[in-house]
Amino acid sequence: MVFERPEVTILSGHVEGDGIDTLQPHLSVEIRSAADPSRVESVLPVPLSYYFEVRDLPRGKHLVQLRSGLPSHTHRFESELVEVDLEKEPQIHVGPLKYKTEERHQKQVTYPQKLHEHCSVLLTL
């Protein structure tokens, strides 16, 4: 009798982008089902090597994307969304996952000194 071992699925890739050394602790790779994007199959932090590998995902189509843990009010973060089919290719390297980030600068309103003094006088009345 011959027993067949089902082929193990392996999805690998690496991360590229500006300022990756400082962003790395805040980045994670998210893998979702393409059939049901609300179903998250795996989330893993981006390693120091920027290379990731996930084994034993279900066969089928998946969406792979980087996520940032930085607050959205201080940083704008965009990343590529890559679709892979582990049914057709059970072992696949998605290549580089790239991202763009931009720091959001909050406007600080400054008031002239006279206006500030006038307002404080009104507040104390």
Task: For residue 121, give the H/E element and its range.
Answer: helix 113-124
pLDDT at position 5 is 47
In a domain? residue 3? no
Token pair belonging to 120 = 């404080």
Domain count, the chain: 1
pLDDT at position 111 is 53
pLDDT at position 60 is 96
In a domain? residue 2? no
pLDDT at position 96 is 95
Torsion angle (degrees, nearest 10) of CA 37, 43, 46, 51: -80
pLDDT digits (tens, 9 = 90+) for 5-23: 467 999 999 999 999 999 9
DSSP string, 27-95: EEEEEEESSSTTSEEEEEEPPTTSEEEEE-PPSSEEEEEEEE-S-TTTEEEEE-EEEEETTT-SEEEEE
* CATH number of the domain to which 85 belongs: 2.60.40.10
Kind of pairing, strands 27-33 and 40-45? antiparallel
Long-range contact set of residues 2-6: C-beta below 8 Å, sequence gap at least 24: none
pLDDT digits (tens, 9 = 90+) for 74-123: 889 999 999 999 999 999 999 899 999 988 876 555 555 554 454 444 44
Assess whether pLDDT exceeds 70 at residue 53.
yes
In a domain? residue 42? yes
pTM equals: 0.77
In a domain? residue 72? yes
pLDDT at position 105 is 75
**81: domain range?**
10-124
In a domain? residue 1? no
- 125 — pLDDT class (breaks 50, 70, 90): very low
